[in-house]
Amino acid sequence: MRALVRIVSWFYAVAIYGFIFLPVVVLVLFSLQATSFPIPPFTGPSLRWYDAVLADTRLTSALVNSLLVAALSSAAAVTLGFLSAWGFARFALPGSALLRGLITLPLTVSYLIIGMGLLVLFNWAGIPKSLLAAGIGHVVINLPLCFAIIYSQMGDHQINIERAARDLGAPEWKVLLLITVPVMAPAIFAGFFLSMTFSWDEFVISFLLTRFDTTLPVEIWNLLRSGLNPKTNAVGSLVFAVSIVLVVFFELMLLRRKPA
Amino acid sequence: MNSATNSGRALPRAGSALPRAGRALPWALVTPALGWTLLFFVLPFVAMGFSSLTAHDGGGFTLANYSQFFTNQAYWQAMVNSLQVTAIVTVISVLLAYPFAWILAEQVPERWQRLALMLAVLPFWTSYVVRSYSWLLVLAQNGVINRALTGSGLFSEPLQLANTRLATVIGFVHFFVMLLTLTIFANLKQLSPSYRKAAADLGAGPVRTFLHVVLPLTLPGIMVGAFLTFVLCIGDYITPQILGGNNELLMPQLVMMQIGRRGDFPLASALSIILMAVVTIAYLACARWLKIERA
Amino acid sequence: MTINPNTWNPTTKQPLSVLKRYLHAACAATALLLATGSFARAADLNALIWCDHADPALLQPFEEANGVKVNVKEFEGTGAGMAIVEQSQPGDWDVMVIDSIDIPRGVEKGLFEPLPEDKLPLADLFPQVKLDNYTVVDGKRYGITEKFGYNTIGYNKTKVDPADMQSLAALTGDKYKGKIAIYDYYLPVIGMAALAIGKKTTELTEADLPAIKQELLSMKANAKLVGEVTASQTALATGEVDILVGGGEWVTAGLAKENPALDFSIPREGAVLWSQSLAMFKDSKNKDTALKFIQYIMSPEGQARLATSACYWGMPANTKAALSDEQKKILRFDEQPDFLARAQPYPAPDADLDKKMQDVWTEMLQAQ
């Protein structure tokens, strides 16, 4: 019985992994296609489409834009999220549950609707479309996430450490910087990391709120609309590579901090 | 959104936690986040609400944009399609993800679990736009799947996979299986082994233990994941646009069509608000599982 | 700070303006920040374009020769383009690519600047695509046609009988059921449906819509998908379908190298002529550069690069375009006089009919 469960489990897991990896394998394989259609038969390997991507300044600058928007909006989201989480966890504020609900509310709304709302608002106020506008949208979607993660990790033992520091005469800002931030570092990192992920891959808000300079997903969408070619595969594979580098980077940062 | 609902703890009283704090500090901490949310989330809603009550080509307040939705069959059909697709995707994703999460949590040795999870998440580090596009390549008439099926002699004719609702569903399920696996896995790992031991001590077999102990205890994780799936799926434009072949329209496509083709913001706002209302109903239905608590 | 005059009519302003004032106060700092963040440098040329103009091979020679940067924003459809302009500040944009037939719409809104005819190669243009009845308003020229082509039947000549492609009836018959894709843009395909039922594209009225809808639904019943450029192009190129309704040289020419079996026909009933023009904005702060840009695009070299742009190919409006013989053959350059004689212009509905046409289109998409 137990052996049977094991065998079935193995088959099932392999099938799911196969399903999950299928499009990625096809994507990467046909990025090496030598001819203009990324469908079988495979005619490569060739790196011509990677050359084409790297020569395309719109794509490369969009990649830089994406990293910039992701990093800055995540930093803003995690800062706002951390401060408010600390405020709500440490102090009894009137209407706290309601206000916490308000901060997490955007989690329950589709990105399309958030983007639409900002578009209408900015339109109305005469605020031009830009990367900064998209970044504001990304903070809106990531702030509740950062808040929820950090707030859920603020337990009583952190309070005790903070109290000890205060009893020893540390002023509030010192408690915050020297005690709370280091103690909460894993949650802060997790929030930042997740925000980066969502911002890096976000399409519809950036699509609605940017003008000339735009983020990579939007530029890829433009590329896609202009015709089918393995260049899209190549840029997709490159994004994949960049993402993996980022993941490994963050993993190492998180792992190194773990023993503490 | 956190699945840790079973061990919520009361908020520590301000007095005991912070005897020396003034009144200004706590508000200074929470105001930036609250202000941001009000300014860039609540206010846009209000603006959208006003916008939805105006007409594209001028004129006073009107309900025409809403009546357009309810009277034109092609418009509300988009909502029906969206709900159908979202329901199918959510159910299939949960059914596929649960056993997978269970295998990862129970059958895979502890030291390999992290790697196994990483592997499952890895493909989602490709760009989300590109992922839908690569499904198109996989499912196309001459794509990998059809080549394999006809090449192996299983089918003489290639199957119509791309540009159908099925393709949209596959594209969605691909992403949400990963998402649900993560939430359910986290939930399974949080279960204390003592529950299962207690059930076994009381004479329950593995199947009964699963049905009466494990499954009910992981229900919150499933609900959180299912709700996330619902919200993300019903608001997604890319997947149906790339994979569905426009053989039917879903709500986000209808919204984007108003903006992209005609610049009709009032109608797009009205459609967004209707979509929002549906999501809110779903939220209320799941609200009891979606509380955020401190560990 | 301008408010979109269409969306925000003065009669509705009372309650709105209160909120707006509040909003302005709340957003003032942000607006300032955003404005500085996105402010275009003075030497930049801001162009509102279709995807063919985004090709670096087209833009780079101009940028290098003139030491300017061309910022481009892509859009689809005049309605969306106008919406972008209305959301912008005066002077944000310098040039625009627009359907030739929609130039009067822009002129009516007071957007465009007359172009100096003596500085443009008007004499070299194919006479049929100058479309003076649209591009010239009140005796002033506001646009110049840069590229054109046909929305007609694109097909794979090894899979279908080319003789069948000489009639639009093939699209609604049973023979090619499930082998058809429809290009997802309502105006040209509605134009084709009009031709199929014997109407002139320039004379369509609301009364014609039921019959057109019927024709569209018959096409849809035969169709495997209704796709944007990529999806329909992919479907045709990969053999998913054999016929593309609304296709033409803009689909087949760019793919000729990869798949020489792709071709297009101008059926008996005629085809829809698409034609894109360049226009300059009245409020442009860089009118000299804008004119230089238009001159560059209209030059034989610019025309050749535009005609063979990565996004889609099309016929250059300038007969002297510096195309190679092979490129001319792919574009069927020499057959143009005959094609042009049988083509009819894009439908040019007014705002009301336009909305109704889009609703018909939405219903077609939604039909099972």
Contact criterion met (CB < 8 Å) for C225 and B136: no
CB count within 10 Å of CB A185 equals: 14
CA distance B29 to B25: 6
From A162, A153, A183, A157, select the one nearest A85 (Cα to Cα).
A153
B243 contact partners, CB below 8 Å, separation of at least 6: B132, B135, B136, B139, B162, B163, B167, B168, B170, B171
| Residues C195 and C119 both lie in one domain | no
Quote the pLDDT of residue B245: 82
CA distance B233 to C80: 26
The beta-carbon neighbor of A108 closest among B127, B231, B293 is B231
A168 contact partners, CB below 8 Å, separation of at least 6: none
Quote the pLDDT of residue B294: 52
- Pairing mode, if any, of strands C243-247 and C262-265? unpaired
Residue B286 has pLDDT above 80, yes or no: no
Q: Check if the beta carbon of residue C135 is closer than 8 Å to that of residue C105.
A: no
CATH number for the domain harbouring residue C192: 3.40.190.10
| Residues C70 and C82 both lie in one domain | yes
| Residues C212 and C241 both lie in one domain | yes
Q: Check if the beta carbon of residue C50 is closer than 8 Å to that of residue C74.
A: yes
Residue A81 gets the label, from left (phi > 0), alpha (psi -120 to 50) or beta, of alpha
Inside any domain, residue C339: no
| Residues C126 and C153 both lie in one domain | no
Residue B48 has pLDDT above 70, yes or no: yes
CA distance B162 to B143: 9
Q: Which residue of B has its CA nearest to A248?
A: B118
Interval B73-83: pLDDT, tens: 889 999 999 99
State whether residue C95 is helix, strand or coil: strand
B201 contact partners, CB below 8 Å, separation of at least 6: none
Residue C77 has pLDDT above 80, yes or no: no
Query: For chain A, what are the domain ranges?
Result: 55-219
Q: Which residues of A touch C311 (CB under 8 A)?
A: 226-227
The beta-carbon neighbor of C226 closest among B59, B77, B246 is B246
> Residue C116 is encoded by which pair of tokens?
């100096």
Mean pLDDT of C50-73: 90
CA distance A200 to A192: 12
Quote the pLDDT of residue A226: 64
Q: Please report which confidence band the pLDDT of residue C124 belongs to, taking 50, 70 and 90 as the band edges.
A: very high
State the residue for tokens 């996004």: C311
Superfamily, domain A55-219: MetI-like (1.10.3720.10)
CA distance A90 to B15: 10
Q: Which of A146-150, A239-243, B282-286 has the highest mean pLDDT?
A: A146-150
Q: Which residues of A touch C (CB under 8 A)?
A: 35-37, 39, 55-58, 121, 123-133, 136, 211-213, 222, 224-228
Choices 1.10.3720.10, 3.40.50.300, 2.60.120.10, 3.40.50.2020: CATH for B47-289: 1.10.3720.10
Distance from CA of B5 to the nearest CA of C (A): 37
| Residues C302 and C155 both lie in one domain | no
pTM of this structure:
0.81
| A66 bridge partner residues | none
Residue A79 CA from chain centroid, whole number: 15
Q: What is the mean pLDDT of chain B?
A: 82
In the chain, the amino acid numbered C330 is I
Q: Check if the beta carbon of residue B78 is closer than 8 Å to that of residue C58.
A: no
CA distance B133 to B142: 15
Q: Which of A232-236, B66-70, B128-132, C18-22 has the lowest mean pLDDT?
A: C18-22
| Residues C68 and C113 both lie in one domain | yes
Q: Check if the beta carbon of residue C181 is closer than 8 Å to that of residue C332.
A: no
Report the neighbours of A using a cutoff of 3 or more CB pairs below 8 angstroms.
Answer: B, C
Contact criterion met (CB < 8 Å) for A226 and C72: no
Q: Report cis status (omega within 30 of 0) of the bond before B26.
A: no
Contact criterion met (CB < 8 Å) for B126 and A153: no
Q: Which residue of B has its CA nearest to A152?
A: B294
CA distance C246 to C152: 5
Quote the pLDDT of residue B282: 81
Q: Which residues of B touch C353 (CB under 8 A)?
A: none
> Residue C54 is encoded by which pair of tokens?
């985004």
Residue C277 has pLDDT above 50, yes or no: yes
C106: burial class by Cβ within 10 Å (0-12, 13-18, 19+)? buried
Interval A31-88: pLDDT, tens: 888 877 777 777 878 888 898 888 888 888 898 999 999 999 999 999 999 999 988 8
Residue B65 has pLDDT above 60, yes or no: yes
Contact criterion met (CB < 8 Å) for A227 and C33: no
Q: Check if the beta carbon of residue B276 is closer than 8 Å to that of residue A113.
A: yes
| Residues C260 and C282 both lie in one domain | no
CA distance C237 to C235: 6
CB count within 10 Å of CB C148 equals: 27
- Percent of chain B at pLDDT exceeding 90: 31
Q: Check if the beta carbon of residue C310 is closer than 8 Å to that of residue C295.
A: no
Interval A87-144: pLDDT, tens: 888 888 888 889 998 998 888 888 999 999 999 999 888 888 889 999 999 999 999 9
Give me the half-sphere count of Cα atoms (radius 13 Å) on the Cβ side of residue B17: 23
Q: Provide ipTM, 2 decimals.
A: 0.84
| C96 bridge partner residues | C48, C279
| Residues C73 and C213 both lie in one domain | no
| C244 bridge partner residues | C154, C181
| Residues C254 and C354 both lie in one domain | yes
User: H/E/C letters for each residue in chain A?
Assistant: CHHHHHHHHHHHHHHHHHHHHHHHHHHHHHHCCCCCCCCCCCCCCCCHHHHHHHHCHHHHHHHHHHHHHHHHHHHHHHHHHHHHHHHHHHCCCCCHHHHHHHHHHHHHCCHHHHHHHHHHHHHHHCCCCCHHHHHHHHHHHHHHHHHHHHHHCCCHHHHHHHHHHHHCCCCHHHHHHHHHHHHHHHHHHHHHHHHHHHHHHCCHHHHHHCCCCCCHHHHHHHHHHCCCCHHHHHHHHHHHHHHHHHHHHHHHHHHHHCCC
> Residue B230 is encoded by which pair of tokens?
């619902």
Contact criterion met (CB < 8 Å) for A128 and C238: no
Inside any domain, residue C2: no
The beta-carbon neighbor of C80 closest among B75, B249, B263 is B263
| Residues C137 and C192 both lie in one domain | no
Q: Please report which confidence band the pLDDT of residue B161 belongs to, taking 50, 70 and 90 as the band edges.
A: confident
Interval A178-217: pLDDT, tens: 888 888 888 888 889 889 888 988 999 999 999 878 899 9
Q: Please report which confidence band the pLDDT of residue B263 belongs to, taking 50, 70 and 90 as the band edges.
A: confident
Can you spell out the DSSP letters for C188-212? HHHHHHHHHTT--GGG--GGGHHHH
Quote the pLDDT of residue C37: 43
Distance from CA of C1 to the nearest CA of A (A): 5
Domain count, chain C: 2
Can you spell out the DSSP letters for C146-178? EEEEEEEEEEETTTS-GGGGGSGGGGTSSTTTT
Query: For chain B, what are the domain ranges?
Result: 47-289
Interval A224-236: pLDDT, tens: 876 667 888 898 8
> Residue B228 is encoded by which pair of tokens?
């996330």
Q: Which of A78-87, A242-251, B117-126, C240-249 has the lowest mean pLDDT?
A: A242-251
| Residues C308 and C233 both lie in one domain | no
CA distance C364 to C362: 5
State the residue for tokens 């599982």: B289
Quote the pLDDT of residue C296: 96
Phi (first) and psi of residue B291, to 5 degrees? -75, 145
Q: Check if the beta carbon of residue A211 is closer than 8 Å to that of residue A132.
A: no
Quote the pLDDT of residue C122: 93
| Residues C129 and C26 both lie in one domain | yes
State whether residue C125 is helix, strand or coil: strand
Residue C1 has pLDDT above 70, yes or no: no
Identify which has the larger pLDDT, C282 or C35: C282
Inside any domain, residue C318: yes
Question: Which residues, numbered 106 to 125 in chain A, qualify as contacts with chain B under a Cβ-Cβ cut-off of 8 Å?
Answer: 106-114, 116-121, 123-124
Distance from CA of C2 to the nearest CA of A (A): 6
Q: What is the mean pLDDT of chain C?
A: 84
Range of the domain at C319: 10-147+275-334
Q: Check if the beta carbon of residue C340 is closer than 8 Å to that of residue C248.
A: no
Interval C202-229: pLDDT, tens: 899 999 999 999 999 999 999 988 988 7
- Percent of chain C at pLDDT exceeding 70: 88
State the residue for tokens 């951390």: A82
DSSP state of C129: G
CA distance C359 to C209: 10
Q: Report cis status (omega within 30 of 0) of the bond before C260.
A: no
CA distance C202 to B233: 42
Cα separations in angstroms, A101 against A95, A97, B37, B228, C36? 10, 6, 11, 17, 34
Phi (first) and psi of residue B171, to 5 degrees? -60, -45
Quote the pLDDT of residue C16: 41
Q: Please report which confidence band the pLDDT of residue B150 belongs to, taking 50, 70 and 90 as the band edges.
A: confident
Mean pLDDT of C185-201: 93
